[in-house]
A = this chain, B = another copy of it.
Amino acid sequence: MKIKKLGEDHIIDRIRKTFQTQHPRIIKSIGDDASVTAITEKRCLLLTIDSLMEGVHFERAYTPPYYLGRKAVSVSVSDIAAMGGTPLFLLTAMNLPEDTEFELVEELYRGIKDSTTEYGMHLVGGNTSRADCLSITTTVVGEAERPKVAYRAGARPGDVIHITGTPGDSALGLEILKEEGLAAVEKASCRKVVLKHLNPVARVGPARALAERGLVSAMVDASDGLLRDLGHLIEQSNTGAIIECERIPLSQEMKDHTETREHKLKLVLTGGEDYELIFTSPPGKREDILLVARRFDITITPIGTITEKRGIKVLDRGKELRIDTRQGYQHFVP
Interface 9-residue window, one of A15-23, A160-168, A296-304: A15-23
Contact residues, A2-17 vs B (CB, 8 A): 2-4, 6, 8, 11-12, 14-15
Report if A89-B129 is in contact (Cβ < 8 Å); known contacts: A49-B137, A109-B18.
no
Given A2-B100, A133-B132, A141-B47, A15 and B89 contact (CB-CB distance below 8 Å) = no
The answer to whether A124 and B26 touch (CB under 8 A), given A35-B91, A132-B133, is yes
The reply to whether the CB of A37 lies closer than 8 angstroms to some CB of chain B is yes
Query: Which of B2, B48, B56, B105 makes the CB contact (< 8 A) with A125?
Result: B48
A257 at the interface (CB under 8 A from B): no
Does A246 count as interface, using CB distance less than 8 angstroms? no
In the complex, whether A53 has a CB less than 8 A from a CB of chain B is yes
Contact with B along A125-140 (1 / 0, CB 8 A): 1111111110101010
Q: Please, what's the 1-or-0 string for A93-131, where 1 marks a CB less than 8 Å from any CB in chain B?
A: 101101111110110011001000000001111111111
Q: A49-B126, A91-B47 are in contact. Are A102 and B141 (CB under 8 A)?
A: no
A103 to B21, CA, bound (A): 22
Interface contact B98-A2, CB-CB below 8 Å: yes
**In the complex, A34 has a CB within 8 A of chain B:** yes
Nearest neighbor of A120 in chain B, beta-carbon distance: B23
Q: Is the CB of A126 within 8 A of B23?
A: no
Is B56's CB under 8 angstroms from A124's CB? Answer: no
Known A1-B101, A18-B113; contact A95-B135, beta-carbon cutoff 8 A = yes
A270 at the interface (CB under 8 A from B): no
Nearest B-chain residue to A122, judged by Cβ: B21
Residue among A14, A15, A55 with max Cβ neighbours from chain B (10 Å): A15
| Chain A 49-62 interface mask (CB, 8 Å, partner B; 1/0) | 11101011100000
Smallest distance from the beta carbon of A126 to chain B beta carbons, Å?
6
A8, A23, A102: which has the most chain B beta carbons within 10 Å?
Answer: A102
Query: Which A residues fall within an 8 A CB radius of B?
Result: 1-4, 6, 8, 11-12, 14-15, 18-19, 21, 23, 25-26, 29-30, 34-35, 37, 39-40, 45, 47-51, 53, 55-57, 88-89, 91-93, 95-96, 98-103, 105-106, 109-110, 113, 122-133, 135, 137, 139, 141, 331-332
